[in-house]
Structure formats: structure tokens, C-alpha cells
Amino acid sequence: MSVKPYIIIAEDEDALSTLLQYNLEKEGYEVGVAIDGDEALMMINERQPDLLVCDWMMPKVSGIEVTRRLRAQTETRNLPIVMLTARSEETDRIRGLDTGADDYVIKPFSMVELVARIRAVLRRIRPGLSEDRVTFGEIVIDRLSHRVQRSGRDVHLGPTEYKLLDYLMQHPKRVFSREQLLDAVWGNDVYVEARTVDVHIGRLRKALNADTDYDPIRTVRSAGYSLDLQG
């Protein structure tokens, strides 16, 4: 089973955030909820989501300021952001988009429209999340059949190694710590030793690298692991 895309909702209206969470989880997303801009930034710092749904008008730190700060940091510069707002003036829409939002949804909106817009943003910015067949170099994952191949050779993986590879292929060349991989693959409600990641990375390497010249999984000392074409 592939890793669910993780979305953070930053919205101070309880009823709306609950409705958003329910509908997005029903669509197969993993969802975290922040009640203000400060909490959203803290959650993103702890675990970067695949997309942020952010209300413009929030206490403490506004959605515009959250977007500005995220765009100023290298780690979150390309994080997909969908802005929610009651502001419908063209100048406000332009300001939101110029600040760095990838889409701008005006309240009130239908859940069907919002979910469609989220899917569209993810397809455009993170195509690996929505495709049934994902390729990185010689490695191919077919999510419908749960088959993995490298250079045309079938690669036989256990369920955890499959989810690890799927997640790394969604974020090629990005370095993940053991803790980040634990949260993404095992979930943050399960206690697993960080060194368990090393064991499963070792199994994944052994399966992937049979009869090949290089190891696509790069170990970054004191940092973690990355999927990279350069061995």
C-alpha cells in the first residue's frame, strides 16, 4: 500500500476545519489540523506536508504571512499551498497568488470544488502523488499492481520496503531523517525505534541493487537518506 499524501489544514473556524478534515480523509488523504498560523508553522517544521490548505484570516499569524515565511525558506519554498479566503476582490486574489499561494479559493465554496482544486495542484506540482505509475531513473513503481521493477527486472519487496521506496520516489533527491521516514511510513502514532529505518533501508537496498552498478539510496552522514541517481 502506498503512503497517503499528507495535508495540513490551517483554519481557525472549528466547524469548517472539521468538515475539511472529514472530506479530505474520505478522499484518502492523511490530515493534520492547525488552529492558527503559529501552530501551522510548528507542525510544518516537525513534519512537512505534501500540501497546505491555509485560511487567509487567522489569529497570531495570518495565512499571507505563513505563506511568505514558507516561501522564504529553502526547505518549504516549493510546498504546495491552497489559500482559503472570504476576500473576493481581484487585488486580494493577486496579492495571495503573488505571495506564493498556488491556488486561491473564495468562501463559501463547495467541498467538491476544493477537493478537485487540491488534486489539480498536487498533479501539477507533485505528479508522483497522483500517478499510478511512477518512474525514477531505472526504477518503476506500478501502484495498481504493486509491482516494482529496476531496469526491467522485477524487484520483490515487503510492504514496509515498498512504502519506503514509494515515499522516497515522491521526493527524489530530498534528504529525510530517520524520524521523518518513521512518521511518513509507520505513522506518528506508532512507536518504532529510529534504527528500525536502517534495517528496512538495508533490505530495500539489497532488493534494488542486485546485479546493478550503483546504489540509488544515498546515506547522508548525521542527516538521513535520499533517493538519488548518482551513486
Instruction: For residue 20, name the pLDDT band (cuts at 50, 70, 90).
Output: very high
- pTM metric for this prediction: 0.61
3: pLDDT strictly greater than 70: no
**47-104 pLDDT, tens per residue?**
889 999 999 888 888 888 999 999 998 888 889 999 988 766 666 667 667 778 888 8
44: pLDDT strictly greater than 60: yes
**Three-class SS of the chain:** CCCCCEEEEECCCHHHHHHHHHHHHHCCCEEEEECCHHHHHHHHHHCCCCEEEEECCCCCCCHHHHHHHHHHCHHHCCCCEEEEECCCCHHHHHHHHHHCCCEEEECCCCHHHHHHHHHHHHHHHCHHHCCCEEEECCEEEECCCCEEEECCEEECCCHHHHHHHHHHHHCCCCCECHHHHHHHHHCCCCCCCCHHHHHHHHHHHHHHCCCCCCCCEEEECCCEEEECCCC
Instruction: For residue 1, name the pLDDT band (cuts at 50, 70, 90).
Output: very low
Level-2 CATH architecture, domain 6-125: 3-Layer(aba) Sandwich (3.40)
Q: Do domains 6-125 and 133-227 have the same CATH topology?
A: no
Level-2 CATH architecture, domain 133-227: Orthogonal Bundle (1.10)
Q: Per-domain residue ranges for the chain?
A: 6-125, 133-227
